[in-house]
Copies of this chain bind each other. A is one copy, B any other.
Amino acid sequence: MKSISLCVILWLVTASQIVAQPKFDKAEVKSWMKRVADWQIANPNKEAEHDDLDWTHAALYMGMIDWAELTEKEDADSSYYQWLLRIGRKNHFQVGKWMYHADFIAVGQSFIDLYRKYGEIKMIAPVMARANWVVDNLPETTLELDYSRMETLSRWSWCDALFMAPPVYAKLYAQTLDKKYLNFLNREYTATYDYLYDKEEQMFYRDRRYFDKREANGKKVFWGRGNGWVLGGLAEILQALPGDEPSRKFYQDLFVTLATRVAGLQSPDGYWHASLLDPESYPSPETSATGFIVYALAYGVNEGLLDKATFLPVVAKGWKALVDAVDADGKLGYVQPIGADPRKVTRDMTEVYGVGAFLMAGCQICRLAESAD
């Protein structure tokens, strides 16, 4: 395992020697972000199945919250917060319908953020009521995901769930200091980690159906956006947990290990692809995986968790790739759709969670730009 890590680092070091330490132009970054955010607001997803409170929008709101904070502070533009508030109020800041499914509580992450800013109980009450039910009535099902037995989605039995739900509990713990949220977070996260994490390859399987599958090239199957979900979720957990909370160590160590591993799998074109170990079988750019990974790596550099000299070039290449996928009118392309064949991701394809990832990444790039000044 050591030798694998070493290889990765050596490769990165080499890369960073060739490419001079990159710099970001913050104004330019923000201009791309604005274009992408505004296009998304002007072109809402009206699909009934993925409504305002679904996980797809949860990821969008997380990017919008970051962007709203930035623009309000720097440009005195509170219109993005207003957009979030309108959606929140229209939906009474509710979470989704399924009591235990991670996807249905994800939207609560942003509503907790809104509560922290605006201080109205109604913003946090629904997600807190839901979380209270869950921690007081623990889900007891197996982690063996089986779509014909939907109750197997009542725990975090697929890796995307680690982006959707855990930060909710981390935030509620930091907010209330009630350990019941922390205990639940740690218990459930560890269970999923034990089940889905491949210690040899240092990545997460999407779910148990992939344990024994192999790609065309014989490699194990590790999904790009899936590991992006996990990395992004870890960045959220680390931002949420109190700084002196001892449980941080587990999440931080995992974050560094996974970030290091995934950084080494970036393709020469700057993207991460749908399959991390067989990019040739899945050659399409994939901006949702790339967005979440760039977000997490940039966050890690900003926080001093990841070595700047090593990771900054990766981040820079990733950001450039993301920007390349943006249309003239601000539409982010190459987003792998939900459940579609990952081989066929096209420039035309967009999805709200891709935009969320783009904005989350952009905000961390802005921080990098500042620190480089």
Chain A interface (Cβ within 8 Å of chain B)? 91-92, 94, 97-99, 104, 118-122, 124-126, 128-130, 132-133, 136-137, 140-141, 151, 174-179, 241-247
Cα distance, A133 to B119, chains bound together (Å)? 18
In the assembled complex, which residues on chain B have CB atoms less than 8 Å from the CB atom of A121?
137, 177, 242, 244-245
| Pairwise interchain contact A124-B177, C-beta atoms closer than 8 A | yes
In the assembled complex, which residues on chain B have CB atoms less than 8 Å from the CB atom of A91?
97
In the assembled complex, which residues on chain B have CB atoms less than 8 Å from the CB atom of A99?
92, 122, 125-126, 129
In the assembled complex, which residues on chain B have CB atoms less than 8 Å from the CB atom of A119?
174, 241-243
With A97-B94, A121-B244, A122-B99 as known contacts, state yes or no: A129 contacts B128, CB within 8 Å. Answer: no
3 tightest Cβ-Cβ pairs between the two chains A and B:
A129-B133, A140-B246, A92-B97
In the assembled complex, which residues on chain B have CB atoms less than 8 Å from the CB atom of A104?
92
CB-contact partner of A120 in B118, B141, B242, under 8 A: B242
CB-contact partner of A132 in B120, B129, B242, under 8 A: B129
Cα distance, A104 to B126, chains bound together (Å)? 13
Sample 13 A-B pairs with CB under 8 A, ordered by A number.
Answer: A92-B99, A99-B125, A99-B126, A118-B243, A120-B243, A121-B137, A121-B177, A124-B177, A125-B133, A125-B137, A128-B133, A132-B132, A176-B177
Copy count, this protein chain: 3
In the assembled complex, which residues on chain B have CB atoms less than 8 Å from the CB atom of A175?
175-177
Cα distance, A113 to B76, chains bound together (Å)? 24
Q: Give A124 Cβ to nearest chain B Cβ, in Å.
A: 7
In the assembled complex, which residues on chain B have CB atoms less than 8 Å from the CB atom of A151?
244, 246
With A92-B98, A125-B133 as known contacts, state yes or no: A141 contacts B246, CB within 8 Å. Answer: yes
Cα distance, A307 to B32, chains bound together (Å)? 43
Residue of B nearest to A178 (CB): B176
In the assembled complex, which residues on chain B have CB atoms less than 8 Å from the CB atom of A120?
242-244
Cα distance, A177 to B124, chains bound together (Å)? 9
Residue of B nearest to A94 (CB): B97
Q: Give A187 Cβ to nearest chain B Cβ, in Å.
A: 14
Cα distance, A243 to B308, chains bound together (Å)? 42
Seed contacts A99-B122, A129-B133; 4 additional CB < 8 Å A-B pairs: A119-B241, A128-B133, A132-B132, A137-B177
In the assembled complex, which residues on chain B have CB atoms less than 8 Å from the CB atom of A174?
119
Q: Give A47 Cβ to nearest chain B Cβ, in Å.
A: 15
Cα distance, A250 to B175, chains bound together (Å)? 26
Cα distance, A294 to B243, chains bound together (Å)? 37
